[in-house]
Amino acid sequence: MNSEIPGVDVSKLTVEQKAGFKKVLQKEQCNCGCNFNLLKCRLDDRSCGVSRKLAKEQLAIFLGQAEPLAGHRRAGAPRPAHPTASSRN
């Protein structure tokens, strides 16, 4: 697949969406051990299965097709409300 983000099909995204998605990938750390963000890992190590999987998951979240993982929010998504004291009882 020939893509601006190797291993991730972004062909259906608009130019603006691609730019936004790249920003999301730049903010997320790859956990393969490279110490790069997801975008840099995808660009520098096309064979990295860890960053490929994480980037595809981030694309699904970005497109609203999947829920963010615990501790992650979709870019632009509102912050969840904090529970009130009465709702904790």
Percent of the chain with pLDDT over 70: 73
Q: Which amino acid is at 48?
A: C
Within-domain flag for 79: no
Would you state the pLDDT for residue 89? 45
Within-domain flag for 74: no
Count of other CB atoms within 10 angstroms of residue 48: 21
Cα separation, 8 vs 89, in Å, equals 45
Would you state the pLDDT for residue 65? 83
Within-domain flag for 88: no
Within-domain flag for 59: yes
| Total domains, the chain | 1
Specify whether the CB–CB gap between 40 and 23 falls below 8 A: no
Within-domain flag for 82: no
- State mean pLDDT over 6-25: 96
pLDDT digits (tens, 9 = 90+) for 64-76: 987 775 554 444 4
- State mean pLDDT over 29-54: 96
Give the residue numbers spanning the domain of 26: 1-66
Within-domain flag for 51: yes
Beta bridge partners of residue 29, listed in sequence order:
37
Count of other CB atoms within 10 angstroms of residue 52: 21
